[in-house]
Structure 1
Amino acid sequence: MASPTAQLCDLTVDIATRSGRNAPVVRVLDSVSLDVQAGRVTALIGESGCGKSMVAAALCGLLPPAAQVAGRILVRGEDLVAAGERGWRPLRGHHIGVVPQSAATSFTPVRTIGSQLAEVCQRLDADRAPAQLCAAVRLPADVVHRYPHELSGGMAQRAAIAAALAGRPALLIADEPTSALDPANAAVVWQLLAEAASDGAAVLVITHDLPSLLRAAVCDDIALMSAGSILRRAATTDMLADPDAYVRRFFGAVTS
């Protein structure tokens, strides 16, 4: 098996609850090990507050500045725990693309989608123009002339995916990409993420939207978090058949 595109190895993250030398800390990630493989869609699921978004922050180099970190964060085989912003900045966009949870608010409201995508393309020296990126995510050609408020929720989410794909990242992280979408638009988003994996990207999806994810049948692996730890990691079919009581409670409403 090829080396993972990104990997957390026994990662523990503590965050102080207030400033000061002896401030109490909260453990938000506890010995988390997770790899994200090229060409696969991996879903990270779990109850609210279990640490999913902190995993994404770790893989993007966006942990809180005062976080106490132990373990390794490997991207392109390089341990970046101590890299600092100078080490992480060149990776964002080029190697790591992020689809934000709130797509509509990720765009500046007073500029067209096309001008904002053009800025991203220029910064990343992209090999596709805004119109080509829009076509790749099934947006109509005139979207480049529209302002963010003129897009539906589904269109805004696809525009955010277009921006995340501009640099052809090896790792694509999508944070709750279908949380505000109807089933039809959610299905399109899952398909676009699957296509990114088919093109060679390692795709990590953080989601509570298990019903539409499973209906789309695009997820290769599922990692289930609980209280800052990875409780289970398996292929989707194996996870759905797992007899563990907590796993069954988690998937029961979806598979019944």
Structure 2
Amino acid sequence: MSSGTFSRRTRLSSKALRLYAESGLLPPAHVDARNGYRYYADEQVADARLIILLRGLDMPLDTVARVLVADDGERADLVAAYWAGVEATVLAQRHLVSYVMSQLAEGKDQLMNVTTRACDARTYVTERRRVSPEEIPDFIQSSCARLAPVAERLGGWAGPLTTIYRSPVNDETDGVVENGIPVRDGVTPDDVDGAAELLVEPVGEEAFTRITQAQVRYPQILQAYDAVYAWLAREGLTPSLPPREIYFAPFDAAHPEAEVCDVAVPFTR
């Protein structure tokens, strides 16, 4: 059928048909070499209508292309994976809006619950690196992969993965981040080799707030740090060690609304 007929049947404009043809998403079945007229096959109507539906979800053209060439059994999985990412992004943005509003509303009470707990002395095997905010997730993941065999050799994990911020990391400056896996008491520097280091922290207390996977994203995670430091100031308590994120649940497999992390600050009274 002619491009005009195809356009009417599929409700795709001539401009959209040209775009999808040029991108290889929906090329004409035939182009007349004499006049350049484009013709489409009946079986292309289904793909055209699927494109309309997917673009209605704001799916990028490269992702649409992957759906079109996938087997029927894989198409639904690709769409589901894309939409899960969209929902995760929207949820993260919802938390970001809450953080922005808390910064703009003067005198607005913090909505995050902050509490305290006693902490035993802790020994970690760690790695340090100077990173930007965008590099933090990759550093945490890669560092954990390197440290995990060290921890297993020393008797296994004795607690959750902990990411300690030795200096501020923000849009203006990179900072030093120390990623650590707790190990059993009694481990000494002589037991640790390679790039790993040993960190021992004393008995103490820490204030913390619990956040979801979506809230871990930068910059909305800053709301949790603000909440903990504001609480410490109101209570007249003094931070004694650098702030940290304690990942007590698997992060990648978690639902965006699942609680996975404590933002904590050790303090003295």
Larger RCO: Structure 1 or Structure 2 (Cα < 8 Å, ≥ 6 residues apart)?
1
Which category of TM-score, normalised to the shorter sequence, fits these structures? under 0.3
Structure label with greater radius of gyration:
2
TM-score by length of 1: 0.21
